[in-house]
Amino acid sequence: MDSSSTYTEQELVNGLRNRNQKIFSYLYDQYSSTLYGVVVKVLNDHASAGDVLQDVFLKIWKNIDQYDEERGRLFTWMLNICRNTAIDVLRSKAHKLDQKIQNITDDVHIGNEPLIVHMQVDHLGFSKMLERLSKDQRNLIDLAYYKGCTQEEIARVLDIPLGTVKTRMRTALNHLKQIVKNIDK
Amino acid sequence: MDINHYISSGVLESYVYGLLPEDEVAEVEAIAQQYPEVREIVEDLQLQKEEFVKCYAVTPPPEIKARLMLIIRNESTPEGELALPQELRLNNPVPQPLLTTPAVKMKAVTGKKQERIWKIIAAAVIGILIISAGINFFLATDSKDYKARYERLIASQKKIDENKNLESNQTASVQESDEDKKLLKDPNVIWIKASGYGPHPDGAVTIGWNKASKEVYLVNWRLPIPPEDKQYHLRTITDGKPADAGILVITPSSNGKIQHLKTTTIPQSFVVTLEPIGSKGANGKTEIYQVAEMNL
């Protein structure tokens, strides 16, 4: 595969539907690091993350007929499969709620790991801006998005009322939205 | 519906970040279909979320891609099939551990037979021990060679231990799983996918034949569970003559596992039939489910 060739979204979808292995290989090259990043962040475990990433791409390959363009972009669909698969594994490993919290605390160090974390050049500025989110806000988003906690669980874990979780979550997501908007400019 | 109020309620953000329960997800999707402005905001938020997750991109180890490409290249073989996550395998709804594919022993009779074999071996070992002890006693009283006696005792103890290990290996599923995994890669084993027959149009099993040991294997993917008074048989046909290759174990837990059947010399075709128990293939009562041609 010529790495310089690019495909439109429709070509990617058609290629996968036609069982085109070159398209699959291209898709992997384009998206594996983002999806692997999600898996690593959910599981906080490099050892099992590889197997999970493999399952994620096999699901994409096998279930492409379930993808519905009407419901969103291909990458959105892939990202959903990835997050759900990783969170299922996290739950099946019977990680307790407190384990989830432990992971969040450990995650503080992940950002500082040399070499492994591969920041794309375009995102260097963005990640710096992410630091503008307060630690509480980041924890909230991490618990919800990466650990699959429901808002009720978060309320229990952080020992705050459900209403407060909802308000804080909204503020955090709004804040994130502003950050992303600014970086787009 | 006050759509502006809906948009500013924060529900769209929660939807995009996967925080909503399933029923609310369906509701948001229905509203997004109906209101283009909602859809546009959702798409915007999804793009933002993607930018957010890209911040945590990590390059995966290179062997994962190699493994994936190998699996999809071999996806129509039993090996490729077994490499898939459980839920992606051909109609195999029963959750099973992914990494273990213990062989299913044919029928309870075979199990009992094996049990008997081990009883005989155990009896033989005890016999050897008694004889050895007797000889030792004789030698000890005869020659007073304590050293030789001691060494012989150690040797027979070792033998018993070895036999014990052998027995535990036989019952350990991991050991069997490794052996079966080797079968999938064994160049002597020819694997073919069977086709459906008559009113059962779907291919449901994979059949293997070992050129070296002549043993026949079968992996069931989706044969329906037989009624209580019937059982599946695998029959081989060579030069127009059918021969029995064994009775299949079709239970939810046997799906996707290699079943070891009888040995047969150069089979030409395989037929999976459903027959009343004890019918010996009587015409009229046999229903053909699967056929496979072995092109040697």
Whole-number Å distance between alpha carbons of A15 and A13: 5
Instruction: Read off the pTM.
Output: 0.52
- CB < 8 Å & 24+ apart, contacts of B65-74: B65/A25, B65/A28, B65/A29, B65/A32, B67/A54, B68/A28, B68/A54, B68/A57, B68/A58, B69/A21, B69/A24, B69/A25, B71/A54, B71/A58, B72/A21, B72/A24, B72/A58, B72/A61, B73/A21
Whole-number Å distance between alpha carbons of A111 and B91: 42
Contacts A–B by Cβ distance under 8 A = 132
pLDDT of residue A122: 45
Which phi and psi (to 5°) does residue B199 adopt?
-75, 0
My answer on whether B186 and B289 are in the same domain is yes
Do the domain assignments include residue B38?
no
Range of the structural domain that residue B235 is part of: 178-293
pLDDT of residue A77: 94
- pLDDT one-digit tens code per residue, B159-180: 776 665 554 443 333 345 777 8
Do the domain assignments include residue B246?
yes
Do the domain assignments include residue B9?
no
Please check whether residue A60 touches B, CB under 8 A: no
Inter-chain touch A62–B21, beta carbons under 8 Å? no
Chain A window 34-53: which residues touch B at a Cβ cutoff of 8 Å?
Answer: 34, 36-38, 40-41, 49-50, 53
User: How close, in Å, is residue A122 to chain B by CA atoms?
Assistant: 9
| Domain termination residue (choose one: B153, B176, B199) | B176
My answer on whether B259 and B215 are in the same domain is yes
Do the domain assignments include residue B142?
yes
Do the domain assignments include residue B253?
yes
- pLDDT one-digit tens code per residue, A20-64: 999 999 999 999 999 999 999 999 888 789 999 999 999 999 999
Inter-chain touch A54–B88, beta carbons under 8 Å? no
The one-letter amino acid at A18: N
Mutate to test the interface with B, among A176, A179, A181, A182 (most CBs of B within 10 A): A176
My answer on whether B193 and B225 are in the same domain is yes
Residue given tokens 């959105």 in the structure block: A76
My answer on whether B287 and B187 are in the same domain is yes
CB B167 within 8 A of CB B118: yes
Distance of CA B125 to the CA centre of its chain: 34
CB B28 within 8 A of CB B12: yes
Mean per-residue pLDDT over chain B, rounded:
76
pLDDT at B38 over 90: yes
Inter-chain touch A79–B55, beta carbons under 8 Å? no
- pLDDT one-digit tens code per residue, A71-122: 889 999 999 999 999 999 888 765 444 454 555 555 444 443 333 333 443 4
Inter-chain touch B10–A58, beta carbons under 8 Å? no
My answer on whether B135 and B191 are in the same domain is no
Mean of the pLDDT values across residues B184-192?
A: 84
User: How close, in Å, is residue B242 to chain A by CA atoms?
Assistant: 38
| Domain termination residue (choose one: B158, B176, B194) | B176
Mutate to test the interface with A, among B25, B68, B69 (most CBs of A within 10 A): B68
Q: What is the ipTM metric for this complex?
A: 0.76
My answer on whether B199 and B209 are in the same domain is yes
| Domain termination residue (choose one: B122, B150, B176) | B176
My answer on whether B141 and B196 are in the same domain is no
With beta carbons under 8 A apart, name residues in chain B contacting A116. 58-59
Do the domain assignments include residue B20?
no
Inter-chain touch B64–A53, beta carbons under 8 Å? yes
Do the domain assignments include residue B50?
no
pLDDT of residue B176: 56
My answer on whether B150 and B223 are in the same domain is no
The helix (H) or strand (E) run that includes residue B163 is: helix B146-171
Q: Tell how strand B241-247 and strand B258-263 pair up.
A: unpaired
My answer on whether B183 and B271 are in the same domain is yes
Q: Which residue of A has its CA nearest to B54?
A: A34
Structure tokens at A33: 């690091």
My answer on whether B210 and B289 are in the same domain is yes
* Domains in chain A: ranges and CATH: 1-110 (1.10.1740.10), 111-185 (1.10.10.10)
CATH number (domain holding residue B195): 2.60.40
Do the domain assignments include residue B12?
no
My answer on whether B245 and B267 are in the same domain is yes
My answer on whether B219 and B205 are in the same domain is yes
Q: How many domains does chain B have?
A: 2
